[in-house]
């Protein structure tokens, strides 16, 4: 019987693990053809950050990385993208069953998709329509067949653990991750995808030194997020925008804060004694108004990156620490923060806060009451 391998995904962006999985499936089934279906939107994820047209172009470019012999057996199918709505697997399988009534359908997936299958729409119908070819992750438990689930066949070997979220985060920071599928980086550059426009605007508005610091903080934030299990894309965005209000002269910062009615503790005294401290609230305001970011978690981290706060979320702590220990920092005490950052975010945040407060005291400078409250809160209830 003829076989069709069905491979769907957001492909936002496509990466080397996608290609490795598809190549392994094509080699395992040397007579099968494959249909690759970029999803308009994956039902279990948020909106993708590249448009449908861009993801189609990226996927087309990525598939050339299979080499001509394998690529010849692959059809790129934009049906889901063109529908312009969420499309469930059972729907695309029904369609393929209609189009290829004699074919055996083999749904190709990573082990994480297999694990999530019970949460899919109509898993029993999916089980009737196709069998699954599943690629394992190194070190992860072996996927197991189950009652009511489709027939399962494991591909030999394991496949690298590459996350599109992490790739997007690294691209946002201006990096060119080696896990990106060959042929996609040029397109990402030429189509200004994954944060190019945002970085361009920051580069125009900030001084070269501030922009370099911004990229360094965003990259440190991504590294810490990956290490400590936080959302790397949010960390990248918070890092990129944390100083976007810094281009203003300190004299203009107080006027800005009053005009926009920013809720800064001890505003009058801050404006008189240390107006530069206002840049965090201004950055939050601009992140929202100018850069269109409406994610409260990202905005909170930007707002709290200078004075900290009695209530600090994990992302708030991460950005506070990343700003203090990015690779461009060279003050005494930075090594202590970096060591703490390898232990955990709480340790890194407390060390960064300690180093900053010590600096204020050493300089005989004014201590913002919010920073003192943050320190007291960091001690916990003991």
The residues that touch Fe ion, with contacts defined as CB under 5 A, are 243, 323
Quick one: DSSP state of residue 246?
A: T
Query: Which residue, 80 or 243, has its beta carbon nearer to Fe ion?
Result: 243
The C-alpha atoms of residue 25 and residue 338 are separated, in whole angstroms, by 43
List Cβ neighbours of 151 (8 Å cut-off, separation of 6 or more).
Answer: 127, 131, 132, 145
Query: Which residue, 6 or 274, has its beta carbon nearer to Fe ion?
Result: 274
Query: Which residue, 107 or 320, has its beta carbon nearer to Fe ion?
Result: 320
CB 306 within 8 A of CB 300: no
Q: Tell me which residue has tokens 């978690």.
A: 297
Query: Which residue, 104 or 309, has its beta carbon nearer to Fe ion?
Result: 309
Least separation in angstroms between residue 181's CB and Fe ion is: 33
Query: Which residue, 136 or 213, has its beta carbon nearer to Fe ion?
Result: 213
With b for 16 or more beta-carbon neighbours within 10 A and e for fewer, the 127-136 pattern comes to: bebbebbbbb
Least separation in angstroms between residue 210's CB and Fe ion is: 8
CB 194 within 8 A of CB 13: yes
Query: Which residue, 126 or 238, has its beta carbon nearer to Fe ion?
Result: 238
Least separation in angstroms between residue 324's CB and Fe ion is: 9
Quick one: DSSP state of residue 368?
A: P
Least separation in angstroms between residue 306's CB and Fe ion is: 5
Task: Considering only CA atoms, give the Rg of the chain.
Answer: 25
Closest of 125, 54, 140 to residue 89, by C-alpha: 125
Least separation in angstroms between residue 363's CB and Fe ion is: 17
Query: Which residue, 150 or 239, has its beta carbon nearer to Fe ion?
Result: 239
Closest of 80, 374, 48 to residue 194, by C-alpha: 48
Backbone φ and ψ of 337, nearest 5°: -65, -40
Least separation in angstroms between residue 316's CB and Fe ion is: 14
With b for 16 or more beta-carbon neighbours within 10 A and e for fewer, the 101-110 pattern comes to: eebebbbbbb
Least separation in angstroms between residue 303's CB and Fe ion is: 11
């Amino acid at each position: 019987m003829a076989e069709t391998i069905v491979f769907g995904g957001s492909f936002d962006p496509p990466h080397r693990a996608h290609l490795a999985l598809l190549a392994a499936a094509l080699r395992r089934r040397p007579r099968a053809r494959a249909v690759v279906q970029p999803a308009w939107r994956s039902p279990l994820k948020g909106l993708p950050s590249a448009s449908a047209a861009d993801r189609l172009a990226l996927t087309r470019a990525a598939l050339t990385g299979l080499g001509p012999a394998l690529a010849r057996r692959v059809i790129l199918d934009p049906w889901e993208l063109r529908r312009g709505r969420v499309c469930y697997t059972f729907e695309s399988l029904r369609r393929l069953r209609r189009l290829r009534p004699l074919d055996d359908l083999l749904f190709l997936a990573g082990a994480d998709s297999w694990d999530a299958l019970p949460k899919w729409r109509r898993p029993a119908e999916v089980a009737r329509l196709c069998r699954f070819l599943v690629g394992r992750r190194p070190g992860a438990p072996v996927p197991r067949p189950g009652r009511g689930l489709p027939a399962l066949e494991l591909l030999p070997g394991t496949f690298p653990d590459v996350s599109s979220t992490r790739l997007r985060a690294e691209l946002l920071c201006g990096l060119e991750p080696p896990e990106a599928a060959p042929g996609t980086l040029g397109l990402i550059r030429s189509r200004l995808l994954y944060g190019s426009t945002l970085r361009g605007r920051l580069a125009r508005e900030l001084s070269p030194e501030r922009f370099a610091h911004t990229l360094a903080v965003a990259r440190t934030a991504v590294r810490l997020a990956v290490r400590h299990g936080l959302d790397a894309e949010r960390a990248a965005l918070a890092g990129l925008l944390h100083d976007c209000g810094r281009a203003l002269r300190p004299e203009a910062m107080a006027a800005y804060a009053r005009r926009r009615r920013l809720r800064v503790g001890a505003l009058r005294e801050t404006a008189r004694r240390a107006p530069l401290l206002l840049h965090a609230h201004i950055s939050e305001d601009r992140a929202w108004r100018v850069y269109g970011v409406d994610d409260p978690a990202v905005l909170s981290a930007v707002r709290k990156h200078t004075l900290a706060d009695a209530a600090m979320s994990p992302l708030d702590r991460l950005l506070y620490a990343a700003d203090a220990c990015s690779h461009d920092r060279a003050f005494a005490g930075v090594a202590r923060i970096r060591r703490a950052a390898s232990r955990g975010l709480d340790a890194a945040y407390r060390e960064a806060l300690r180093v900053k407060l010590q600096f204020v005291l050493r300089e005989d400078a004014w201590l913002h009451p919010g920073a003192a409250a943050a320190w007291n809160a960091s001690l916990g209830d003991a």
